[in-house]
């Protein structure tokens, strides 16, 4: 069966499909030794040889990992400042995996890692609408007026951001626990939403991505996603 070149590259873990398209148009990809720069090119996996920057693209076992990211770990493959990264929590032989989206340095909770670029794109691009749920411990009382405001949208750092839903789980004069649902996952979005309302997030845990929940997975531990879980995260066709 013939498949589009960028789809094959994404499935082999080279990059997301969109990033693979960029590699093609930049003239960095060859098929059977011939330079390819058009995006409509199709190949026969297992028969045609694909290279990127001279290195042969090889099909890899696809990895789909759920990790409970601890605080003060970076969601990156490596850090020039030698801070701890989430890759240190995985087996060394899984070095082809990379984080899907990000949790900031001080945040914790559910994080996916994969070497399937197409899967990563479907979880991170806004058009697919995969929601993420967080529990935020906020310094101070969060009122219904505040939750309504962050759902309507607030301005932060020159852009409008908003939550899909927000609900106070518990509150006192000094602290509140709030469940926040997002559909885009912009940089530090939950913290920015509350900051725009004059409140600071003390602790932030992502508890769910799409239908997959963090559950009882201990901090710093991982598990592989099941086939039904993987299918549940992909858009129905």
Higher pLDDT, 30 or 186: 30
Cα(162)–Cα(180) distance, rounded to whole angstroms?
10
Pairing relationship of beta strands 108-114 and 200-209 according to DSSP bridges = parallel
* Average pLDDT, integer, range 201-215: 97
At what angle are helices 17-25 and 117-124 packed, to 10 degrees?
120
My answer on whether 143 and 94 are in the same domain is no
- Could you list the active site residues? 104
Q: Are 89 and 73 in contact (CB under 8 A)?
A: yes
Q: Provide the 10 A C-beta neighbour count for residue 1.
A: 6
* Average pLDDT, integer, range 10-16: 81
Q: Are 230 and 62 in contact (CB under 8 A)?
A: no
Q: Kindly report, residue by residue over 96-121, the tens digit of the pLDDT.
A: 899 998 899 999 999 999 988 878 88
My answer on whether 28 and 92 are in the same domain is no
The domain total for the chain is 3
Q: How confident is the model at residue 86 (pLDDT cuts 50, 70, 90)?
A: very high
Q: Which of 44, 206, 195, 41 is nearest to 110 (CA)?
A: 206
Q: Kindly report, residue by residue over 16-49, the tens digit of the pLDDT.
A: 888 999 999 999 999 999 999 999 899 988 889 9
Give the distance between the most distant pair of CA atoms in the chain: 68
CATH code for the domain in which residue 119 is found: 3.30.70.580
Which of 4-13, 18-27, 146-155 comes out lowest in average pLDDT?
4-13
pTM: 0.79
pLDDT > 90? residue 200: yes
* Range(s) of the domain holding residue 101: 64-127+212-233
Q: What is the DSSP letter of 74?
A: B
pLDDT > 80? residue 89: yes
My answer on whether 101 and 218 are in the same domain is yes
Q: Which tokens sit at 151?
A: 């759902």
Q: Which of 133, 130, 167, 125 is nearest to 150 (CA)?
A: 167
pLDDT given at position 126: 81
My answer on whether 138 and 84 are in the same domain is no
pLDDT given at position 235: 65
Cα(78)–Cα(72) distance, rounded to whole angstroms?
14
pLDDT > 60? residue 237: no
Q: Are 109 and 207 in contact (CB under 8 A)?
A: yes
My answer on whether 115 and 155 are in the same domain is no
* Average pLDDT, integer, range 125-142: 93
């Amino acid at each position: 069966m013939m498949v589009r070149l960028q789809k094959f590259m994404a499935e082999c873990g080279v990059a997301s499909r969109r990033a693979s398209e960029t590699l093609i148009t930049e003239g960095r990809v060859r098929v059977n030794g011939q330079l390819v720069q058009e995006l409509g090119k199709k190949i026969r996996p297992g028969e045609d040889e694909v290279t990127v920057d001279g290195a042969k693209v090889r099909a890899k076992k696809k990895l789909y990992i759920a990790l409970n990211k601890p605080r003060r770990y970076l969601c990156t493959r490596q850090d020039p400042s030698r801070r701890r990264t989430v890759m240190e929590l995985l087996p060394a032989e899984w070095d082809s995996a990379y984080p899907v989206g990000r949790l900031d340095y001080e945040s914790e909770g559910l994080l996916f890692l994969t070497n399937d670029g197409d899967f990563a794109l479907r979880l991170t691009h806004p058009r697919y609408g995969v929601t993420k749920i967080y529990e935020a411990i906020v310094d101070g009382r969060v009122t219904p007026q505040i939750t309504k405001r962050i759902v309507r949208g607030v301005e932060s750092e020159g852009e409008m951001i908003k939550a899909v839903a927000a609900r106070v789980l518990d509150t006192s004069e000094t602290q509140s626990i709030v469940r926040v649902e997002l559909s885009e996952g912009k940089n530090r979005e939950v913290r920015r939403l509350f900051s725009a309302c004059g409140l600071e997030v003390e602790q932030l845990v992502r508890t769910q991505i799409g239908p997959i929940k963090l559950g009882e997975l201990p901090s710093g531990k991982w598990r592989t996603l099941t086939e039904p879980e993987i299918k549940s995260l992909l858009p129905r066709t």
